[in-house]
Amino acid sequence: MGVEPVTIRAWAAKGMIPCTRTAGGHRRFNLDEVRGHLGETGRLVDDVVPFLHEAIDRWSVKPVYAGVFGSVARGEETGHSDIDVLIVPPKRVGPVWRRQRVELSLSAWHRWHREFSVIEASLERLESMVANGSGFLAAVVEDEVAVWGPPTLASLILPWVGGLDVAHGERQAS
């Protein structure tokens, strides 16, 4: 299911999921209850997206866009996969913005006990990536599950796309 044993033990210790103990003291978990905690499908993305949305909703300085990408977004994560998030900040950021980002990463670590990789790219950086035919940007667009802002990253960058094939990160002949 892509969840480390230490994460499941932590959930049990917090009372988030029940467990029983064997005579030898080993924990036993009901698979349906663990899946229920992760969401109906048992995919991590089904837990990550609402968590991020609720966290960002509480921020005083909101991003232009936030989305999950990579193996978690595709539902292909393993127990060692990190959680990849792309955030487009507002034009001006300061200490409040940085504090929000740090708190988000810490709370994500405590929840899932796995690396939470936040890539921050300004609108100017995104425009530059589009102009340079960024393969990274194309991969994000292909995988993304939007959390905040426009329904897709592609709709945010569309004004700059021109001849860029967003699905493949290549310039098309005009």
Q: Is 82 in the same domain as 117?
A: yes
Cα–Cα nearest to 149, from 82, 59, 84: 59
Q: Per the confidence metrics, is the pTM higher than 0.95?
A: no
* pLDDT in the model for residue 155: 86
* pLDDT in the model for residue 42: 58
* pLDDT in the model for residue 79: 72
Q: Is 123 in the same domain as 53?
A: yes
Q: Is 26 in the same domain as 57?
A: no
Question: Which helix (H) or strand (E) is 57 found in, with range?
Answer: helix 45-57
Which residues constitute the domain of residue 34? 1-40
Q: Is 162 in the same domain as 98?
A: yes
62: Cα separation from own chain's centroid: 16
Q: Is 88 in the same domain as 123?
A: yes
Q: Is 85 in the same domain as 96?
A: yes
Instruction: Indicate the number of domains in the chain.
Output: 2
Locate 63 and state its tokens: 């991003």
* pLDDT in the model for residue 106: 92
Output 40 or 123, whichever has higher pLDDT.
123
**Three-state DSSP state, 69:** strand
* pLDDT in the model for residue 161: 67
Q: Is 50 in the same domain as 28?
A: no
DSSP 121: -
**Which pLDDT tens digit goes with each residue over 31-88?**
777 766 655 445 788 889 999 999 999 999 999 999 999 999 998 887 778 999 999 9
Indicate which CATH number applies to the domain containing 109. Answer: 3.30.460
Residue 2: which pLDDT band, with cuts at 50, 70 and 90? low
Region of residue 36 (left: phi > 0; alpha: psi -120 to 50; beta: else) = alpha
Q: Is 154 in the same domain as 89?
A: yes
Q: Is 88 in the same domain as 156?
A: yes
Cα–Cα nearest to 89, from 113, 72, 64, 69: 64
Choice among 7-16, 107-116, 132-141 with the minimum mean pLDDT: 7-16
Q: Is 68 in the same domain as 152?
A: yes
Residue with tokens 């480390």: 4
**Three-state DSSP state, 161:** helix
Q: Is 19 in the same domain as 67?
A: no
**Which pLDDT tens digit goes with each residue over 124-156?**
999 999 888 888 888 899 999 999 999 988 888
